[in-house]
Structure 1
Amino acid sequence: MSATVTTTIVAQPEARPEVRPELQALRREIAGLERHGYLFGKKLTQSFSPFLHDVIYRELGLNWGQIRLDSTDMDLFLRLVRAPSFYGASVTMPHKVSIIRHLDELTEECRDVGACNTLFLRSDPATGRRLLCGANTDVIGVRESFYQNVPDPDAPDKGAMLEMCYNPTPYTELAAIAEQAGWQVILGTEALIWQGIAQDRYWTGQELPPETVKVVQQAIASRLPRR
């Protein structure tokens, strides 16, 4: 007499991959937004960029936001930009050059400078495929800092300097030396503001009216220390 032994094997559910804590934090920040972008780089805590764009979006009535992604992980960033609600990114050091080889199209300024600080989206007219495009609005920020603040660019005497440092303070030793020599000192927040406005032109398709620019300038000025 023989006995038949039946063994039932119950499949165990596959372990879910562990979600990195920083990704959990990103998801929480994104959850309440209609559209989101990133500030992608390292050592981002001093940057006013997310605050700047938050002010602009509030003035435009948009439930958008820019999230800090303090990382050197390019593969992670390229995965995150596939999200349907992603609109674009500010790209800072150390990625301004290395991001270029991952982009589909570059603006003329981006090609000429060889560095990208702005990632924006467009669609391929033939296929509808989403394209990752690169621009450089840093050059616009520097240019407009002078155009908007120097009353007489052809003045024969003295000159103007742009102090790109703005945090923790734009009132640097170099700026003090220039002022003592009679030069006009333009704060680096001006470059921040004008390059950021140019970025949002790519992302939102909207031009900011002068009164909104004034609100943005006042908001940024409120973050600076007193002299």
Structure 2
Amino acid sequence: MSTTTVVNTVVSTDLQSQTRTVERHGYLFGQKIAASMSPQFHQTIFNELGWAWEQFRHDSADIPSFLKLLQDPNCFAQRLLTQDLGSSVTMPNKVTIMDYLDEMTEECREVGACNTIYFRPSEDVGGRKKLYGTNTDVVGVRQSFYQTISDPDAVFHDKPAMVIGGGGAARSAVYALWKWMRATRIYLVNRDQGEVDAVIRECKAKGYGDSLVHVATVEQAEALEAPGAIVSCVPDFPPKTPGEKTARAVIETLLRKERKGAILEMCYNPTPYTELGAIAEREGWQVILGTEAMIWQGFEQSKLWTNLELKDLPVAKCKEAIAARLSASSRL
């Protein structure tokens, strides 16, 4: 197999990566990605498999230039006859990239966001590689609960759920709760009425929005049944505006209810130990760190890119690598 020495300051900010030999490469395409754990996570997998692969950071929102990078002959795996390496897509490109995809999975279409691009080596369109898009964030949400909670029936099955936020991650959470986690209703809590209206409208148009309920006031929250699963999809900032303060009061009202469940705090940058997570823990909730969602959606990506099953991937090593990263961040 031929190899290439990657020297590309556009797609990599790691000086070591620019000088060592890499046989095949993919990308993390987005902005403000310097602190992302995705490249480290996938590098752990590639290293354990003994493959000279790497995921480079490409800090950009320029989709045409990114599409050209994807057509690089080394942005796929000749090692495997049945599968090609692909790329991760993060904000602000998850929605806009969809206009350029040739095919999408059900999750990608229904959520309305793509976080993973993959290829099939024998399939192209007009002389270029055919782009497939999927959304593994929904798997990350689902697996965070099922890999952590020992008794889903007691904690969140057939109970209301709650999603905090109104962006792309919130849509992924809604889909996971509706599709796989047996939520009877899904409470939406957010500082912005317009964002909530958009989520409900889009989910209804796709056939899974009838169970959504906007919880806008403390009085409304007091009258509701306690949720079993909560997914928080907002940054870790203390509430300042009236809308943020109202949303926090609604959340705390629901957290104080007698029955407790589990909350997935999706925010993990710069730390997964958030203010909201601490509040939930004090109220008796089981807190699942956002790195769990990152890990499980990452394994789903790797299954697509490597053509391996989860049992063949270095699960324990990846968890150790992320735990070490968290420990180092905590010390700093």
Task: Give the secondary structure class of the aligned counterpart of 2:310.
Answer: coil
Find the aligned partners of 1:176 and 1:97 in 2 and give their Cα distance: 32
Checking the alignment, whether the CA contact within 8 Å between 1:30 and 1:36 is kept in structure 2 is: no
Shift of the alpha carbon at 1:154? 2.1
Q: Which residue of 1 aligns with 2:62?
A: 73
C-alpha change, 1:30 and 1:153, in structure 2 (3 Å) is: farther
Please say if 1:33 is aligned against 2:135: no
Shift of the alpha carbon at 1:126? 10
Q: Which residue of 2 aligns with 1:100?
A: 98
Please say if 1:50 is aligned against 2:39: yes
Find the aligned partners of 2:27 and 2:123 in 1 and give their Cα distance: 23
Please say if 1:175 is aligned against 2:164: no
Find the aligned partners of 1:80 and 1:183 in 2 and give their Cα distance: 45
Shift of the alpha carbon at 1:30? 8.2
Checking the alignment, whether the CA contact within 8 Å between 2:11 and 2:56 is kept in structure 1 is: no
Count matched residues: 208
Q: Which residue of 1 aligns with 2:86?
A: 88
Deviations 1:51-77 (A, max 9, x none): 000001111121100000001111110
Task: Give the secondary structure class of the aligned counterpart of 1:93.
Answer: coil
Shift of the alpha carbon at 1:127? 8.9
Task: Give the secondary structure class of the aligned counterpart of 1:85.
Answer: coil
Find the aligned partners of 1:195 and 1:23 in 2 and give their Cα distance: 23
Shift of the alpha carbon at 1:201? 0.8
Find the aligned partners of 1:191 and 1:221 in 2 and give their Cα distance: 14
C-alpha change, 1:37 and 1:125, in structure 2 (3 Å) is: closer
Shift of the alpha carbon at 1:155? 2.0
Shift of the alpha carbon at 1:226? 4.0
Checking the alignment, whether the CA contact within 8 Å between 2:108 and 2:134 is kept in structure 1 is: yes
Find the aligned partners of 2:55 and 2:49 in 1 and give their Cα distance: 15
Task: Give the secondary structure class of the aligned counterpart of 2:318.
Answer: helix
Shift of the alpha carbon at 1:128? 8.5
Q: Which residue of 1 aligns with 2:123?
A: 124
For structure 2, the residue ranges without an aligned partner over 5 or more in a row are 1-7, 76-84, 156-258
Task: Give the secondary structure class of the aligned counterpart of 2:153.
Answer: coil
Deviations 1:136-182 (A, max 9, x none): 00000010000000111122641000111112211111001100111
Task: Give the secondary structure class of the aligned counterpart of 2:54.
Answer: strand
Q: Which residue of 1 aligns with 2:107?
A: 109
Please say if 1:22 is aligned against 2:10: yes
Q: How does 1:157-168 map to 2 (within 5 A)?
A: 157-168=259-270
| TM-score, normalising length: structure 2 | 0.58
The letter of the residue matching 2:23 is: E
The letter of the residue matching 1:197 is: F
| TM-score, normalising length: structure 1 | 0.84
Task: Give the secondary structure class of the aligned counterpart of 2:152.
Answer: coil
The letter of the residue matching 1:92 is: T
Q: Which residue of 2 aligns with 1:8?
A: none
Shift of the alpha carbon at 1:25? 6.8
The letter of the residue matching 1:48 is: M
Find the aligned partners of 2:265 and 2:21 in 1 and give their Cα distance: 36
Find the aligned partners of 1:100 and 1:26 in 2 and give their Cα distance: 28
Q: Which residue of 2 aligns with 1:215?
A: 317
Find the aligned partners of 1:36 and 1:104 in 2 and give their Cα distance: 21
Checking the alignment, whether the CA contact within 8 Å between 2:141 and 2:293 is kept in structure 1 is: yes
The letter of the residue matching 1:62 is: W
Checking the alignment, whether the CA contact within 8 Å between 2:87 and 2:118 is kept in structure 1 is: yes
Q: Which of 50, 59, 70 lines up with 1:61 in the alignment? A: 50
